[in-house]
């Protein structure tokens, strides 16, 4: 089964008519006020999951998701569990409506946790509690020292690595060809932005973020998260789940814990993960979460891949029709 909840186990389907797809889940930044509200109102399965999430956390995450305000939803301790829950609710409905066999799952940064929950590594509730703590730990790390991030457009991986080293900052994300993100001290990121044109980049733009995610500035968050991962009940996922840190499928529960811990400070190797999946012959991808960020990245990574993006009831219903027609 793919959503690990003993009361609602579904056996994987292996008949010839089952759609094989890779599940994708976005990361922090994709959140928006109102997310999940129409799913909650339209699908009992989504309502049940979201109510269970509120009960597990001991406060109403759904109220923040549905009503905001934006400043509250954007807080790391809220947007991370919100995106996790939203992605899982979409998957819960989709898998009931269409016979899909996930051949792999991947998520950008925080989305890696959603991918694991969708693949049955841990329960929705257990994963949710870890994700909420991860967000809180990262928020604390942001408050401890001023830091920031910048998107680097154009240029290649070698150029961004060289520039980051010269500015004493880290490469946070390798999103797709021509789009990387650097992360670190305000002074270091400002220096990188100033030197971007000379280093061969078309554009460099500072991001509106609370701090330097996926950098050495997250060390305290990583140290707090590791015991939570160690204590969590996990099992091998029902399909391949890719880790951001090494752009490969995880190999066991100890590996899962290590990779989820490492990616807090390490680079997100999204482009390499997607390239590996396409090289293995997978061409159908389903993105579940607000916006179409991952579909946009895939357009720059591979022309062979088809990405269906789902974020609300209209896009969900359209996806169901598209998948049933395939």
- The model's pLDDT over 167-214, given as tens digits with 9 standing for 90+, comes to 999 999 999 999 999 999 999 999 999 999 999 999 999 999 999 999
Pairing mode, strands 240-243 and 203-206: unpaired
86 an active-site residue?
no
Of the listed 86, 109, 147, 185, which one is catalytic?
109
CATH classification code of 147-206:
3.30.70.250
The average pLDDT across 211-234 equals 98
Q: Is 95 helix (H, G, I), strand (E, B) or coil?
A: helix
Q: Which of 76, 140, 142, 151 is nearest to 109 (CA)?
A: 76
In this prediction the pTM is 0.94
pLDDT the model gives residue 33: 98
Give the count of beta carbons closer than 10 Å to the beta carbon of residue 13: 12
Residues of the chain with CATH 3.40.366.10: 6-143+215-325
Phi, psi angle pair for 5, to nearest 5°: -140, 110
Q: Please answer whether residues 170 and 267 qualify as being in contact, where contact means their C-beta atoms are separated by less than 8 angstroms.
A: yes
CA distances from 100 to 20, 24, 97, 115 (A): 6, 14, 9, 15
Of the listed 4, 86, 116, 214, which one is catalytic?
214
The average pLDDT across 4-10 equals 35
pLDDT the model gives residue 17: 61
Residues of the chain with CATH 3.30.70.250: 147-206
pLDDT the model gives residue 5: 36
109 an active-site residue?
yes
CATH architecture of 6-143+215-325: 3-Layer(aba) Sandwich (3.40)
- Mean pLDDT for the chain overall: 94
Q: Which of 180, 116, 183 is nearest to 145 (CA)?
A: 183
């Amino acid at each position: 089964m793919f959503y690990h909840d003993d009361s609602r186990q579904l056996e994987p389907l292996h008949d010839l008519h089952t759609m094989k797809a890779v599940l994708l889940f976005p990361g922090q930044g994709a959140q928006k006020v109102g997310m999940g509200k129409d799913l909650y109102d339209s699908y009992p399965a989504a309502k049940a999951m979201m109510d269970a999430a509120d009960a597990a956390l001991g406060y109403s995450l759904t109220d923040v998701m549905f009503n905001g305000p934006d400043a509250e939803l954007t807080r790391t301790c809220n947007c991370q569990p919100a995106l996790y829950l939203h992605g899982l609710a979409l998957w819960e409905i989709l898998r009931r409506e269409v016979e899909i066999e996930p051949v792999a799952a991947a998520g950008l940064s925080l989305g890696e946790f959603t991918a694991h929950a969708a693949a049955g590594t841990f329960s929705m509730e257990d994963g949710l509690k870890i994700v909420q703590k991860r967000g809180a730990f990262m928020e604390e790390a942001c408050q401890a020292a001023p830091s920031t991030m910048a998107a680097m457009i154009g240029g290649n991986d070698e150029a961004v690595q060289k520039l980051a080293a010269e500015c004493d900052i880290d490469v946070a994300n390798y999103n797709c060809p021509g789009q990387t993100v650097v992360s670190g001290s305000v002074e270091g990121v400002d220096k990188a932005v100033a030197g971007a044109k000379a280093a061969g980049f078309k554009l460099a733009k500072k991001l509106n973020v609370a701090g330097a995610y996926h950098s050495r500035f997250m060390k305290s968050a990583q140290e707090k998260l590791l015991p939570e991962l160690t204590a969590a009940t996990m099992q091998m996922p029902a399909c391949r789940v890719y880790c951001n840190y090494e752009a490969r499928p995880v190999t066991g529960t100890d590996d899962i814990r290590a990779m989820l811990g490492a990616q807090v400070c390490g680079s997100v190797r999204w482009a390499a993960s997607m390239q590996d999946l396409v090289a293995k012959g997978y061409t159908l991808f389903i993105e579940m979460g607000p916006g179409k960020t991952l579909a946009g990245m895939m357009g720059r990574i591979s022309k062979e891949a088809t990405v269906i993006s789902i974020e609300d009831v209209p896009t969900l219903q359209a996806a169901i029709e598209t998948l049933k027609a395939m």
